[in-house]
Amino acid sequence: MATKETKKVTLQISGMTCALCVAHNEKALGELPGVEKVVVNLATDKATVEYDPAQTTLEEVVGAVLGDGREMRTVTDGDKRN
């Protein structure tokens, strides 16, 4: 069986104030092609996204959050092999 490479990125997001903000970010990120997992945490202002880089770029992941009117403070990018 061939292994599929996924990327895991943690986004530090500012401006989230409620559960509705979390839901909007989860939806925006989850609708991107190739996104396998999204976890948005209001308490830490972070979103962790696992995605297939053959289908979605890091720029598109960041853009999904920025397009929702949020600001980004840091981005941590890492590789993960499945």
Tell me the DSSP string of 25-51. Answer: HHHHHHTSTTEEEEEEETTTTEEEEEE
How many angstroms separate the CA atoms of 10 and 45, rounded? 10
Q: Which residues share a beta bridge with 79?
A: 7
In 3D space, the residue among 68, 65, 44 whose CA is nearest the CA of residue 56 turns out to be 65
pLDDT at 82: 45
Beta carbons of 8 and 49 less than 8 angstroms apart: yes
User: Looking at the whole model, is its pTM more than 0.75?
Assistant: yes
List the domain boundaries for the chain: 5-81
What CATH number was assigned to the domain covering residues 5-81? 3.30.70.100
Q: Give the model confidence (pLDDT) of 7-45 as tens digits.
A: 999 999 888 899 999 999 999 999 999 999 999 999 999
